[in-house]
Structure 1
C-alpha cells in the first residue's frame, strides 16, 4: 500500500532528525555535566580544605562597617499600589537606615505618579523621578533618568552615594541585604545576590517553572561562572554597583550609563564592567541566626543554610502568555542583542560562558523537538499495542549501536539533570517542590520554545534586535494591608481648626522670621501657641499629642535610651506602655527611623508629638555633650526672691521652651541643608563624637563662617531665661557671648 511506503519514508526522515537532535542534546548535556563537576569539586574542596583553615563569615561581621549612603533605583510603569507596599516593607524589614529609594515614573502615567507622591509624604527617603520622555520607554532609559536625578540630589543634598542598587517595585528584600552590600561595596564593583521566586499553588506550572530555573541557576551555574570567568551577569534586581562602576559606565556611554537599546541592560552591564577590569561577585550569604521559614512551615528536605541566604523574593508571571512575553524579551536581549553588541571576547573561558548564554536559541527548539518526537514514538507504540494487526515497522533506532550509545548517554545525562534540579530546588523550597520540578521540565520546555519563537518573530518584524520595544510584564506583590494616605497640609489644618485666619497665615508666610520654619516663626511672633502647632502635626501624622515635662522623667527611663539614639533622632523616652516604649518627638518620625530605633533598643516603640521645644529642652538637659545649667532654677530663684509673681513662672517657662531652636532646623530653614540629606548626615555624625556644627564643617557641608553665623542667629532667635526675666524687669541683662548663649 502506498501509505505504508510513505510512512516508512517518513520514519526514515524522522530517524535523521532524531540523530541530529540526539547529538545536539549530547553536546548540551556534556556541557551541563562539566558545570556540575566543577561545582561539586569546588564544594568538596572548600569543605575539606578551605573551611578547615578559614572560618565562614558570619552575619555579625556585616554590622562592623559604618552605614554608607546607598541609592535604590526602581523603574515604575503602571505600578499603582505597588510602590507604597515596597517602601513600607523596606522600612519595616531592612536592618539599615542610610538608604534612599528613587522611583522612575513617566509623564503619561499620572496614576503611578500620584501613588509615588503619597508614598514620598510618608517616607522622606523615597523620591519621585519623572522621565523626560513618555512611557513606556526601555527600562534602561528609565534608569538613566533615575541615575541623573540621583546625581542631582547628591549635589543638592551634599551626599555621596557609595552603592547604586537595582530593584523592581514588586521585589521583597531580605533584612540584611543592604548591610551585605555595604560590607562589600568598597571592594567589589558589581555585587549580585540570588533571586528566589515565591511559591504558588502546586499546579501552577507556569509560575513555578521559574522557581526551578532560578534555584539551579543561582545555586550552581552563576557561582561556577564567577569562579572560572570572574564575570557575573546581573539579574536586574538585587544588584549593587559601586560608585566607581557607575562613573565608569557613564564615561563609556558619553554621559549615559545604561544602553537604551538593550532589553536586558543588566546583563549588558555585567559584560561591560568585566571589560573594564571591574571586580564582580555573586554572593550566597546565609544568615543562620533565624529560620526564614518558621518551624511549622519548614519543608522536608530543605537545607537550613541554603534556605536562609540573603536573596530577593518576588512573584513571577503565572499566565502562559505573560511568561512567554517576559522570556522572549530575555532571549532577544541576551542572545540576539548580546551577540550583536558584544560578539565574542578574547578570553576562552568567558567565551565559553557566552556560548552557554546563547545556546538557548538552539536548545529551546531542540528540547521541544525532542519532546515532540518522544510523544510521537509513544503514540506509535500505543497504537501497536491497541492494534495487534497493525503493520510492524523497523525501529528508527534499529542496527545502530553507536546511536544506542548516544541515547544511553543522553538518558544518563537527563537523569543527572533531574537529580541536580531536585537537589537545588529542594535545598531552598523542600523536597516536595524538588520532586515536582521533574514534571515541570516539560512545561518549561514549552514556555521556552514559545518564547524563542516569539523572539524570532519580533526580530523579523522589526528587522533588527535593537529595535524591539520594551515589553514590560506585570508582577504580583505580597499583600501587606493598609493604605497610603497623603498628609493634609499643615497650613490648611491651622486655618481649618481656627488657630489662625487665612489672612494671618498669608501674612506669616510673607514675613517668616529668618532662620525659622513657618510653624516656629508663627510661635515666635505670638500668632499661635506651641500646643496649637503640635495638635495638627499629630493629627496629620496619626499619633497622639502630649505635653511633656522632661524634668519629671525618672532616671531609669532616661537610661533606657542611649544618648546617641536620643540625640540622633531627637526623641525622649516618656513611659513604658504594655511593653512598648513610648517616645516623644516634636516632628514626624518616619517609619525607617522608627524601625531603626526599635532595632537599636531591641524593643517595640511608638511615639507621640510633644509641644514645640519640650523635647529640645529635655535633650539638652539629659543628653547634651555639654549640659547647660537648669534654666528653670533661675525662674524659681526669681519667684522666691519676689522679683516676679509666682503665677508668671509657668507662662515664662512656656515662652522659653517654645522658642528654643535646634541648629539643624536653622540650617534647613536657611537652605544650607536638605531636610532628607540632614538625616543621612546625622548617621555619620552619630559615630563622630563631635558637636554637630564641628562635624558639618569637618565634612565640608558648611564653612566655618557659615557655622558662626548660624550659631549667632540661633542665639538671637532663642531667648535665655535671663533675657525673659529682664523683659519682665526682674533680672539684670545677661553678660554672655552669643556662642555661650547658644551652647
Structure 2
C-alpha cells in the first residue's frame, strides 16, 4: 500500500511538472508577442521624439482661455444619477470657458430629479446652459442620451438659423481645462473632423493603489500610443471626454445610419467608436497636445473610480465594448496600420487569459519548489528555449516598467512613477477580473440581453475639493 501511494504521488508531481512546463511555454510565447507589439510602438515613439515630430508645443493658457471661438461650440454632457458632481462640472465649465459662442447641453432623465435640480442650481443665470430632459426613464445608454442631446442641438439650430461649428463631448465628472476649448476650436477650424485632448486622471491620496492606477494607464496611452497613432495616420479612438467632432462630420455619421442619429443606442463604448467612425468615413483626425509655460499639460482631468467593484465594472465595460462589441460593430479597417491598431485595442480578453496563466504559473512554481524542498518530485527542468523565453520576457518587463515609470513621473512626479511600477500586479489582477466579466457579459448579449448604462458612481469633483481647501486656508 505504501509503495502504491509513493508511485501515485510521484505520478502526480510528474504530471504537475509537465503541465507547468507546457503552460510556461505557452505563456512565455504570448507574453513575448505582446512585448514585441508594445516595443514596436515604443520604437516609433522614440523615432518621433528624436526627429522632433512628437514635440509638444507650449501655449499661454490664460490667453487661450480668453480666445474667441471661430464658430459655435455645442458641449454635450450626459448625466444619469450625477447629482453629486454635475453642479460643480457646470459651474467650472462655464467659468473656465467665458466664450459666448458655446452652449452647454446637459442630458438628464425624467426619473432623476436630483440631477435635474443640481444642474438647474448651477446655472447661475447663464444663458449658455440648456438642460435637456430625456423623454424616457433612465438609465438607457450613454449613446442614447447623446442622441437626445443631438436632437436638442438640431432643434436649436433650426430655430436660430445658425449651425454650430463643432460638438464637444464631456462627462458629468470632468474638470475641463481653461485652454481646452480654444485648442479644439483651432484644430477643427484648421480642417480636423475629429480632435482629442489628452485625459489626465488625478491621483487619489486615499486610494494610492487602486484609484490612482489610472494615472499610468492614461499617461502612457495619451503620451505615447495616441501620439504614434496620430503620426501614422491611423484612426483615433475618442476618449469620450475632451474631444470634438466637426458639425459636418457628425452630420455625415447620421446619414450613414438608418435612424439618422450619430450613435448606436446599443453601444457600450460609443466614445471609442466615434473617432474611428469619423476616420472610416474619410475624416481627418488629430490628437492635440500642448503645455503651458509651467509645463502643465492641457488635458481633461477627473477622479476615476477607487473601489474595486466600481473599477472592475468600468474596465468590464471598456473590454466588452472595445474588444468584443467593437469586433462585431466596426470591423478591422482597411490598411495594415489600422488593423494593427485595432488589434492592439482588442487585446483585452487575450491579455487577461495570458496574465491568468502567468499568475497560475507563479502559484505552480511556488508549489513545486515547496514540494521539492519536502522531497516530492523535482523542479521543472528548463530547456534552452524556455531559458531564452524567460530571459527575453524579463528584459521586456524591465523595459516596460521603465517606460511606465518615465511617462508617469513626467506628469505626476517620481514618487507616483515609482508607485506606478509597484502597482503593476494590481493592474494585472484588475485586467484578469474585467476580462472574465466582459466575456460573460458579451455572451449574455448574444442571447438577447439588452445593453444598459452600467456607469460608475461619482462622489466628488476636483473643483469642489479645491474650493473646500481654499476656504479652509
Tell me if TM exceeds 0.5: yes
Pairwise mapping of residues 274-313 of structure 1 onto structure 2 (< 5 A)? 274-288=279-293, 291=294, 304=295, 308-313=296-301
Structure-2 residue corresponding to 1:472: 455
Q: 1:570-598 deviations in whole A, cap 9, x for unaligned? A: xxxxxxxxxxxxxxxxxxxxxxxxxxxxx
- 1:195 correspondence with 2:199: yes
- Structure 1 residues 65 and 228: alpha-carbon distance in aligned structure 2, compared to 1, 3 A threshold: same
Post-superposition shift, 1:198?
0.8
Q: Higher relative CO (CA 8 A, sep ≥ 6), structure 1 or 2?
A: 2
Distance 1:478 1:376 in 2: 44
- Structure 1 residues 417 and 223: alpha-carbon distance in aligned structure 2, compared to 1, 3 A threshold: same
For structure 2, which runs of at least 5 residues remain unmatched after alignment?
1-5, 468-473
Residues 67 and 96, structure 1, Cα contact 8 Å, conserved in 2: no
For structure 1, which runs of at least 5 residues remain unmatched after alignment?
292-303, 484-743
Distance 2:170 2:433 in 1: 27
Structure-1 residue corresponding to 2:359: 371
Distance 2:276 2:448 in 1: 18
Structure-2 residue corresponding to 1:357: 345
**Structure 1 residue runs of 4+, over 6 Å off?**
none
- Structure 1 residues 151 and 213: alpha-carbon distance in aligned structure 2, compared to 1, 3 A threshold: same
- Structure 1 residues 369 and 416: alpha-carbon distance in aligned structure 2, compared to 1, 3 A threshold: same
Question: SS where residue 46 of structure 1 aligns?
Answer: coil
Structure-1 residue corresponding to 2:175: 172
Structure-2 residue corresponding to 1:345: 333
Distance 1:397 1:416 in 2: 27
Structure-2 residue corresponding to 1:532: none
Structure-2 residue corresponding to 1:414: 397
Structure-2 residue corresponding to 1:26: 32
| Corresponding residue pairs, total | 456
Which of the pair has more CA radius of gyration?
A: 1
Residues 174 and 312, structure 1, Cα contact 8 Å, conserved in 2: yes
Post-superposition shift, 1:66?
4.6
Post-superposition shift, 1:140?
0.4
- 1:272 correspondence with 2:277: yes
Query: Quick check: 347-356 or 450-459, which moved more?
Result: 450-459
- Structure 1 residues 397 and 262: alpha-carbon distance in aligned structure 2, compared to 1, 3 A threshold: farther
- 1:123 correspondence with 2:126: yes
Residues 458 and 468, structure 1, Cα contact 8 Å, conserved in 2: no
Structure-1 residue corresponding to 2:209: 205
Residues 371 and 442, structure 1, Cα contact 8 Å, conserved in 2: no
Question: SS where residue 130 of structure 2 aligns?
Answer: strand
Distance 1:208 1:89 in 2: 23
- Structure 1 residues 311 and 479: alpha-carbon distance in aligned structure 2, compared to 1, 3 A threshold: closer
Under a length normalisation based on structure 2, what TM-score does the superposition of the two structures give?
0.91
Under a length normalisation based on structure 1, what TM-score does the superposition of the two structures give?
0.59
Residues 202 and 301, structure 2, Cα contact 8 Å, conserved in 1: yes
Structure-2 residue corresponding to 1:226: 230
- 1:11 correspondence with 2:20: no
Structure-1 residue corresponding to 2:97: 94
Structure-2 residue corresponding to 1:260: 265
Post-superposition shift, 1:346?
1.9
Residues 75 and 170, structure 2, Cα contact 8 Å, conserved in 1: yes
Structure-2 residue corresponding to 1:41: 47
- Structure 1 residues 466 and 148: alpha-carbon distance in aligned structure 2, compared to 1, 3 A threshold: farther
Pairwise mapping of residues 659-698 of structure 1 onto structure 2 (< 5 A)? none
Question: SS where residue 172 of structure 1 aligns?
Answer: coil
| CA RMSD, Structure 1 to Structure 2 (Å) | 2.3
Question: SS where residue 230 of structure 1 aligns?
Answer: coil
Structure-2 residue corresponding to 1:436: 419
Pairwise mapping of residues 231-630 of structure 1 onto structure 2 (< 5 A)? 231-254=235-258, 255-288=260-293, 291=294, 304=295, 308-381=296-369, 388=373, 390-391=374-375, 393-398=377-382, 400-463=383-446, 467-475=450-458, 476-478=460-462, 480=464
